[in-house]
Amino acid sequence: MPDPVSGPFHPGGSPTVAVIGGGFSGLLTALHLLTAAPALTVRLIERAPTFGRGRAYVGGHRDHLLNVRASNMSAYPDRPDHFLDWIRGQGQNLFDGFVSRGRYGEYLQHLLREAVARPAHAGRLLLEPDEAVGVAARAGGFDVDLALGRTISAGAVVLAIGALPPIPPAQAGAGVLSAPGYFADPWGVNLDETAPGEVLLLGSGLTMIDVALSLAHLDRPLIALSRRGLLPRIHASTSPAPPPDGLPASPLRVLRLLRAYAVATTWRQAVDSVRPATAALWRSWSTAQRRQFLRHLRPWWDAHRHRMAPVVGARISGLLASGGLAIEAGRLTRIERSEEGFEVHYRARGASGAVTRTFAAIVNCTGSTGDLAQDRSGLLAGLVERGLIAADPLGLGLAMADGLRVAGRDGRPTRGLYAVGPLARAATWESIAIPDLREQAHTLAMTVAADLSVEPGPAFAAPAASSVRR
């Protein structure tokens, strides 16, 4: 009998692909699969009440805008104006070129409705409102166990479960993480039952920005603490610039090139110029070079790469000026429970002494993680136990092989198992923003169709290289 993990694959009957996760990455992968191969059946599995939106686009606060201009938010890399045309057709407004996340969620719902209603997709796109709790390899494919007791058989499985929750602070003392004033979920903060006083936001990236905007109306002082105290930069209109000469190069060399290039152009042009080459750069680096980037350069890259919309930047500037929000740079050393809430100890950056402050509440805004242990569904733990997946050695998510194929315990691709989105960050580094995810979904659909030996659709081809419009 062939090895069910890495042996040859000869599917029988109509191939079925199970896509686990119905957010942006899963939805786009499903749509591209339907177009890539008319013989494929796609079963889209989503545990949330709605398909397509994911957690990022369910609605939320009116000040929560997309971090990418609407002109670069089309779901399809070969149709760059698709989202703009939809916006215009809805008679909706742009905020200096940006739209709300809830509005984008409506767009994704529109794509799903279109796909379900398309005659060519009849019986080929099956929506499964359930949670995948286990995946087991068998000869010719996989069995996917669902929480409600059913099992789905599939020739291939795509893991599109989105970002994993933030890692709890290791410095938390007894009872901190279970205290009512500690919020592990930055999107589920309710301060009604907490004592009056300052609120500590762990992290100073885009997640912190969203939480600060959500809590600003409560008139409670917000303190954001991160190692370097870096805030995301603000978008501004720029013209495209070609990448600097000298790529690919080591992380240190890239930093020097970008600094010099920013003097000749602007920092935004310099950063955006390497965006089309980011995946190739990442793949060219050794593990040691990637570790060097993550340890020393990642915070600076993230602050300049993942920017705020101008209207959001103005709101944050107002909060900083009024004292409603303060940014602290420092290393967290200890968190203990106290009568007022929490006693927090940290060492301020550049200072010799420790700082001790009391906070009424703490919100973990450190952002998504690649730590597989943070998946509370048990799905990833079961896959690890079976040897079908392994953790990336740098903690970025899944260990990946070429073509967005997932690597197993032995380092070889697990036949028929793929990943898209934040879990696949080790493959391309950029695996969060819509312009990157839509390219991943398209590429993955072609890979799956080829691996399943399915005849591709006549209109499905690699898109032209898309420009980066921020």
Q: Which domains does the chain have, with CATH numbers?
A: 16-165+369-451 (3.50.50.60), 182-232+308-364 (3.50.50.60), 251-305 (no CATH)
DSSP-based three-state secondary structure for 263: helix
Q: How confident is the model at residue 470, as a pLDDT?
A: 46
Average pLDDT over residues 89-111: 83
Average the pLDDT over 143-170 and give the result: 94
* Stronger pLDDT, 94 or 363, i.e. the higher one: 363
Cis status of the peptide bond prior to 422, with omega within 30 of 0:
no
CA distance 272 to 362: 34
Q: What is the pLDDT of residues 335-386, one digit of tens each?
A: 999 999 999 999 999 887 789 999 999 999 998 888 999 998 899 999 999 9
* pLDDT, tens only, 7-65: 434 444 458 999 999 999 999 999 999 988 888 999 999 998 888 776 767 666 666 88
Count of other CB atoms within 10 angstroms of residue 163 = 23
Instruction: Looking at 181-297, list the stretches that DSSP marks H as alpha helix, in order from N- to C-terminal side.
Output: 206-215, 251-264, 267-273, 278-284, 287-292
For residue 457, what pLDDT band results from cuts at 50, 70 and 90?
low
Residue among 173, 185, 234, 231 at smallest CA distance from 211: 185
Mean pLDDT across the chain, nearest whole number?
A: 88
- Residue 163: pLDDT band by 50, 70, 90 thresholds? confident
Q: What integer pLDDT is reported at residue 5 of this predicted model?
A: 45
Q: Which two tokens stand for residue 340?
A: 């007022």
As a whole number, mean pLDDT of residues 166-180 equals: 94
